[in-house]
Amino acid sequence: MPEGLSPVEAGKSLHEHAEIENEDRGESEREKRLNRIASIVEASLLAIVAVLAAWSGYAAAKWSTESSLRLAKASAARSEANAASLAALNRLNFDVTSFNDWFTAYVAKDASSMAIAVRRFTPNFRRAFEAWLATDPATNAAAPPGPEYMPEYKQPEMVLVAQLNAHASAEYAARAQAGSNADSYVLTTVYLATVLFLAGIGSHFGLRAIRYGLAGVGTAILVVAAVLLASAPKPPT
């Protein structure tokens, strides 16, 4: 008759088998729980990064548009300054030509032609001309060469030119700053895209340590990107 297990031995074997099954079941539950945690971390990273990347892309686009607008304003101001400068130069040429006519008549002692030339002077040049005559240029060697060298000769167009050029320079500086701000947001978007890549690729690895490692690296990059976004200038409205 074959030798069998005693009731005590059979009970002990069944108890050991049950403990092994419980350990296996516990280990399986623990693995599932850790995998769920990894999935939650990855999903959280993806959700946060998606929002931040959308904001960063929007801000970069706004600053890029602002840079283009500033450039257009600077170019317009510079064009206006050039036009005003040309108008001032034409006005000066007209005044100088009129003064040359007066001087020619003066040398010829033609009082009628001198009077006609004086009537052609612009108001600003006329004031400077009268101040120049008061210096007695015919006998005063220290007198200025002509009315255009007198402090009384002022051209409003040149004041406008200076203002427009200053405005254009300010707009160019603002344009450069806006472009720099846009570049900063683009760089932050690259960081966030890296986090998206790490979080997305992590789920394809069977080893949990790799998933946690990728999630940890992604979280560190996310913190850096969040700091950059918090310290970056807010986009224009």
CB 232 within 8 A of CB 181: yes
pLDDT of residue 134: 93
Reported pTM: 0.65
Look at 155 and 21; give whichever has higher pLDDT: 155
Helix (H) or strand (E) holding 48: helix 7-107
Confidence of residue 1 (pLDDT cuts 50, 70, 90): very low
Q: Can you give the pLDDT at residue 70?
A: 94
Which one is predicted more confidently, 211 or 77?
77
Cβ neighbours of 169 (radius 10 Å):
13
Nearest to residue 162, comparing CAs of 76, 84, 71, 73? 84
Q: Give the helix/strand (H/E) hosting 146.
A: none
